[in-house]
Amino acid sequence: MGFRLAFAIAFAMAHLAGMTATAVAAGPSPRQKLEACLKKAEDLPDIAEANASTWLKHGGGEPARFCHAAAQFNREEFSSSAHEFAALAALHDKNDPRHAAELHARAGLGFMRANDNKNAENEYATALKLEPDDPEIWVDRATERAAAERYWDAISDLNHALGIMPDMADALRLRGQAWMKLGNSKNAAADFNAAGEIDAADKTVK
């Protein structure tokens, strides 16, 4: 499971934390159901998608929709998954922009995997409007733009990410790859070396 999905799940869990208090003592809480469903979405996405559909029919609401979208993504039904994550995100644009931004970014990844760059751009733009100081979302959009061979745009996004968090080794490596595509080996080498130094420092700390 990728970082963005894991991070979105963490926000979903936080969003659902208050639901456990109202759960019936004899059965699992919505949070527990979601945790189990998401684990299955990772390991057995076909079964998870069917289970989530049944759960939704029995009043599962947002948790069931979230798991259904996660299962679709792992089944490589990227466009359907992205549309579902985007719809869930829209529910929280005003009341929980942080959670909404993560879901919009997750939708952006789905659209990117579906080769739907227009919708991917729209979702990432919405996510960044909600959370402009999240470096991971800048990196996510840069990844999409680099995949579309928009290397200058990718570098611009990575510059934003590194301005917020200068020690992001992944952002430096991605920027180095973009520089390589543009034929600038000097800048590429500088970014690759900087990323390597950060990795080495992290290993020393651990």
Residues contacting residue 76 through CB under 8 Å, at least 6 positions apart: 113
pLDDT band per the 50, 70, 90 thresholds, residue 33:
confident
pTM of the model: 0.85
Report residue 27's pLDDT band, with 50, 70 and 90 as the boundaries.
low
3-state secondary structure of 131: coil
Q: What gap in Å lies between CA 51 and CA 48, rounded to an integer? A: 5
Q: From CA 42, how far away is CA 135, in angstroms rounded?
A: 26
Instruction: Tokens 């659902």: give the residue.
Output: 16
Give the per-residue pLDDT at 22. Answer: 43
**150-170: string of b/e by CB count within 10 Å (b at 16+)?**
bbebbbebbebbbeeeeebbb
29 pLDDT band, cuts 50/70/90, is confident
- Domains of the chain, start order: 1-131 (1.25.40), 133-206 (1.25.40.10)
Length of the chain: 206
Question: What is the average pLDDT score of the chain?
Answer: 89
Percent of the chain scoring above 70 in pLDDT: 86
Mean pLDDT of 48-77: 95
Tell how far CA 70 is from the center of its chain: 11
For the beta carbon of residue 23, count every other beta carbon within 10 angstroms.
Answer: 14
